[in-house]
Structure 1
Amino acid sequence: MGLTPAPMNVWPLGWVALVPLWMAIAFESRNSAILSFFFHQKPIQKNRLFSILKTLKQEPKLRFWLRLWAFPLVWGLGYHGVALSWILGIHPMTWMGVPWWPSLAIALFCWGFISLWGAGLVVVWATVVAIATTRTHVITRLILATATWCILESVWSAGDLWWTAIAYTQSPNNLAILHLSQLSGPNTVAAAIVAVNGAIAEGLIAYFKNYREEGRSVRRVRGLLVTALILFCTVHAIGFYLLSRPLNDLGDRALKVGLIQGNIPNEIKLNYFGYQKALYGYTTGYETLTDRGVDIVLTPETALPYLWTETSRESRDFYRVILEKNIPAWVGTFAQTEDGNITNSLLTVTGTGETYSRYDKTKLVPLGEYIPFEDILGKFIDRLSPLDAHLVHGDKHQIFETPFGRAIVGICYDSAFPEHFRRQAAAGGQFILSASNDAHYTPVQMHQHNALDLMRAVESDRWIVRATNTGLSSVIDPHGRILWRSQINRYQEHIATIYRRDTQTLYVRWGDWLTRCLGILAVIVTGLEWRIRKFSS
């Protein structure tokens, strides 16, 4: 499963990679003797570890659960660990004043902790499946396992540590299946993936299980595998139908946007040379794009690495050239709240120099932009933010008005959270602006970040323009087709024509209704089966 996300994009593996885990859970829960060889080694009494293992060997129930949890833990670490390996790219952070060895320790801790966090989801899911697999009918198991996975992903995505949703294994290449997200968000894709994997796994389990009635075994195996094939084809057919619908964008809804990829490495961004390079690059880029007739210019996250105030802006060439050209710009910079805290913001600056609107980044990067549980951890962890002041979260209910209509905005890490974009689309957002700075990560992260923004475009049926510092900037249409994508680590300018749209998908209107329905259905079928078993016994 770790090979499925961008940039490797081996998305077909996502439809079978859960099968071995499902089978391991089923066999282990039905036959607790499996893998008992792990505990067959003769313990060495002088070694405390082996003494503990000997104690566990005398506790069969505990030993069973430890063996059972080992499967999903390894699977979860394999998937999330491989997919998130780009986190190690934050090392070395010597440019931020962090010594080399502490920098390595921080990178390893972040990678390991977030991978374990994702693996925890798999362990919880496997526990539910293990309990259900010996006591329920195969149909009940499939519904329960699918509902549990979707519910867990919904709960996990409500927090601050979220990236590797199982749906993003299909982005950006499987556009047909991604269109299922227009029905009920990314969990629609997750439900399809889990259900297909489950049907295949149950069919193989039935094949390997020693049935006395050979004919029954063949019929069951064939039925489950055919069910998996029909489900796989059906969900792709629905997605292909949604993908094939014309966009029907009208010319009077067009918006000509200029994009600037400044290519300022983070290592120099905060020193004098990098600061001057940023000012020069974005100022000359703005002049070039406005001379070519754009309606507005979009810059990346914190493109202008200083606090945007009335005093500071007027002394900069970038602000003065806006007044000269009289063309508005979406400016990535830092802003200040009324109580003196700092926000990572995107501003709409009109041609007259007025700050027309402001969006403050909602999802800040833990340890990178803020310290979770700061009263406790702040005493032990040096701040990694490039500013001395505290970065604070933006309000979850922000509305971003522009001279060209209401926009949907995501700054960097916001891209991983579909509900953030759905809410803005439901509030009337007509197009998506994404501003990011991925310079401190590897190209793997840049590809995955672009793939996440692509999913947000498809879910909400909106055009999206992405401006990043070092790549990948891009232009994506509502069907997820990448019309332009920048190169990595190059200064680039681009003019994109996008269209404002007022359509609302089922997901935008009703949210993740499928997960709620699956949860209710799982409770009903499990309850009915329990009642039937109770009365039959």
Structure 2
Amino acid sequence: MGFTVAPFTIYLLAWIAIIPPWILVQQKSLKKVILTCAMWGIGYHGLALFWITGIHPMTWMGVSWFNSLLIAIFAWFFITAWGASLVIFWGIIFHFYLKLVNLSELKNYGSKICLKILGGITIWCLTEKIWSYSPLWWSSISYTQSPYNLAILQFLKISGITTITALLILVNGLFAESLLLSFPIISPSFSKIRGEQIFFEKEKKVNKNLTKKIISLSVIIFISAHSIGYLMYRQPLNDLPENLVKVGIIQGNIPNTIKLYESGVRRALDNYKNGYEILSYGNPDLIITPETALPLYYEDIVNNTQIYQKILDKKIPIILGGFGKKNNGFTNSLFSIDREAKLIGRYNKVNLVPLGEYIPFQAVLGKIIDRLSPLDAHLLAGEKQQAFLTNLGKITVGICYESAYAEHFRRQNAQGGEFIITASNNAHYSIVMPSQHHAQDVMRAIEGGRWMARATNTGYSGIVDPHGNTIWQSSINEFQVYQGKIYRRQDKTLYVLWGDWLLKLLVIGLILSWFLILNFWKK
């Protein structure tokens, strides 16, 4: 399953890769269920998120080589364990749910399978939803389809990632149940509960007719979903000429090893000043820069840099990445500067990176990290309800890690954001991470039905249309400037309007199924 995510292109594997845990979660032993789910979760999240080890070495930050290695290993272990815990949680809840289904007096095998499929889908989607509210969120199984399977990704417009997660679990679950019907001996629960043979142990023979129906249904759903998605993908965007926005993107390419030091700051000032000047000749409506493009406080940018003088001279609006002051700390911010070089908008990053920008569970982990690292960070999170104004009106923005949080973008789109800007610094990690980050942003563009411009420090910067097509993508680890076209859009997708309504519907269906199970419970 770990090979289904970007930059790998075998996303179709995700449509069958969940069959093993689905079958094995039906074991009688809860310990074996936990072990099975842990192994699958570690395999998926551990491989998908292995890029986090790219933070090593951090000797440029004053961390010793050995301590840097320990931090990288700890970070990888921590996020892998957190991802695996999602699968374990699903496995435990689903395991007990299956026991209730199997102990009921429902005689119709098809009805039991329907209840199992509904339970498996709902519990997984609900678990992902809960995890998405945590400060550590990245690898929903839905992102295995991005950025390549654009037909399926169109379903993001309906109810966000829940739509795709539900489809993946549905097809995997149906395939798994057909295998259990065809080969009941492979079922790990080929045993007895309360003296009764459970669902999978047939008294006579496998119901071949039902098996064929389930396999046919799973294939039909798979083909139909891709066909419907393709029709959605082929719908014309119909963008109006008056909504055209000429956007300039500067990819400064400042390595992290020098970014916070004098040589790095000097190089950043030169690259972004020169990039701004080059783009100004094309007279764009807006120029955007990456996260902390200039690692300085805004006041210092205004008073001590040549780029601010260029803004006064060229009069091209710009979004600058830098640091802002807040109480006794500072923020990771984007500053919107208009044609008169006046600050008209400021956005402070809301979703900070655990272990990178702040230490979660400070009372416990803080002591450990402090012993390994000499850093003393006081980065503060911004408020969730922020409106970011530019010379073009209200837009939707996200900084780096926030690309994983769909609700963050949905909320801004619902409040009137007409296109999306993301600013990131992906230089911390291996080259796998920028590909996954791009995949996350493709999903956010499709969900909101918005054009997106991406500015990154070292790549991949790009432009994405509302169908998820990558109109332009930069090279990696190169200084680049680019001017492209995006469009303002006012229409709202079903997901933007109603949020994750499908999950609510699934939960209601699951609750109703409980009443059905209880009604047929053995007395």
Q: What's 2:68 paired with?
A: 103
Kept in 2, the 8 Å contact 1:313–1:319? The answer is yes
Change (3 A) 1:387 1:252: farther
Q: What's 1:47 paired with?
A: none
Cα separation, 2, equivalents of 1:509 and 1:384: 46
Q: Mapping of 1:413-432 within 5 angstroms? A: 413-432=401-420
- Tell me the amino acid that sits aligned with residue 443 of structure 1: I
- Tell me the amino acid that sits aligned with residue 167 of structure 1: S
Q: What's 1:24 paired with?
A: 24
Q: What's 1:40 paired with?
A: none
Cα separation, 2, equivalents of 1:425 and 1:268: 36
Kept in 1, the 8 Å contact 2:283–2:316? The answer is no
* Partner SS state of residue 43, structure 2: helix
- Tell me the amino acid that sits aligned with residue 34 of structure 2: W
Q: TM-score, normalised by structure 2?
A: 0.93
Q: Mapping of 1:515-534 within 5 angstroms? A: 515-534=503-522
1:135-168 deviations in Å (ceiling 9; x for gaps): 3211101001100000000000001100001100
Residue 312 (structure 1) shift = 4.6
Q: What's 1:198 paired with?
A: 173
Q: Mapping of 1:296-315 within 5 angstroms? A: 296-309=286-299, 312-315=301-304
Q: What's 1:81 paired with?
A: 46
1:40-80 deviations in Å (ceiling 9; x for gaps): xxxxxxxxxxxxxxxxxxxxxxxx22222111100000000
1:325-370 deviations in Å (ceiling 9; x for gaps): 1111000000112x23200001101122211100101110111111
**Does 2:259 correspond to 1:294?**
no
Q: What's 2:229 paired with?
A: 239
Q: What's 2:193 paired with?
A: none
Residue 238 (structure 1) shift = 2.5
Cα separation, 1, equivalents of 2:50 and 2:498: 35
* Aligned match for 1:164, one of 111, 128, 139: 139
Q: What's 2:316 paired with?
A: 327
Q: What's 1:336 paired with?
A: 325
Kept in 1, the 8 Å contact 2:100–2:517? The answer is no
Residue 374 (structure 1) shift = 2.6
Kept in 1, the 8 Å contact 2:345–2:390? The answer is yes
Change (3 A) 1:65 1:212: closer
Residue 21 (structure 1) shift = 1.4
Q: Mapping of 1:126-275 within 5 angstroms? A: 126-136=91-101, 137-209=112-184, 211-214=202-205, 217-275=207-265
Cα separation, 2, equivalents of 1:385 and 1:187: 38
Change (3 A) 1:472 1:141: same
* Partner SS state of residue 161, structure 1: coil
Deviates most, 491-500 or 344-353: 344-353
**Does 2:479 correspond to 1:491?**
yes
- Tell me the amino acid that sits aligned with residue 513 of structure 2: V
Q: What's 2:10 paired with?
A: 10
* Partner SS state of residue 3, structure 2: coil
- Tell me the amino acid that sits aligned with residue 211 of structure 1: K
- Tell me the amino acid that sits aligned with residue 246 of structure 2: K
Kept in 1, the 8 Å contact 2:63–2:373? The answer is no
Kept in 2, the 8 Å contact 1:370–1:383? The answer is no
- Tell me the amino acid that sits aligned with residue 233 of structure 1: I
* Aligned match for 1:505, one of 478, 493, 496: 493
Residue 272 (structure 1) shift = 1.4
1:452-511 deviations in Å (ceiling 9; x for gaps): 000000000000000000000010000000010001000011001100000111100010
Residue 241 (structure 1) shift = 2.2
1:194-250 deviations in Å (ceiling 9; x for gaps): 011000000000111163443x52012112111211221222233222211110001
- Tell me the amino acid that sits aligned with residue 15 of structure 1: W
* Partner SS state of residue 139, structure 1: helix
Cα separation, 1, equivalents of 2:370 and 2:277: 40
Cα separation, 2, equivalents of 1:384 and 1:429: 42
Q: What's 1:372 paired with?
A: 360
- Gapped regions of structure 2 (runs ≥ 5): 102-111, 185-200
Change (3 A) 1:222 1:280: same
Residue 386 (structure 1) shift = 10
Q: Mapping of 1:375-390 within 5 angstroms? A: 375-382=363-370, 390=378
- Gapped regions of structure 1 (runs ≥ 5): 30-63
* Partner SS state of residue 169, structure 2: helix
Cα separation, 2, equivalents of 1:198 and 1:312: 55
Kept in 1, the 8 Å contact 2:5–2:48? The answer is yes
Kept in 2, the 8 Å contact 1:343–1:393? The answer is yes
Kept in 1, the 8 Å contact 2:358–2:377? The answer is no
Cα separation, 1, equivalents of 2:270 and 2:51: 30
Cα separation, 1, equivalents of 2:376 and 2:364: 19
Change (3 A) 1:250 1:509: same
Q: What's 2:451 paired with?
A: 463
* Aligned match for 1:446, one of 416, 428, 434: 434
Kept in 2, the 8 Å contact 1:9–1:169? The answer is no
* Aligned match for 1:123, one of 80, 85, 88: 88
Kept in 1, the 8 Å contact 2:337–2:390? The answer is no
Change (3 A) 1:109 1:252: same
* Partner SS state of residue 367, structure 2: coil
Aligned length: 497
Cα separation, 1, equivalents of 2:226 and 2:436: 22
Residue 430 (structure 1) shift = 0.3
Cα separation, 1, equivalents of 2:375 and 2:383: 20
- Tell me the amino acid that sits aligned with residue 470 of structure 2: I
* Partner SS state of residue 2, structure 2: coil
Q: TM-score, normalised by structure 1?
A: 0.90
- Tell me the amino acid that sits aligned with residue 223 of structure 2: C
**Does 2:462 correspond to 1:474?**
yes
Kept in 2, the 8 Å contact 1:369–1:384? The answer is no
Deviates most, 229-238 or 73-82: 229-238
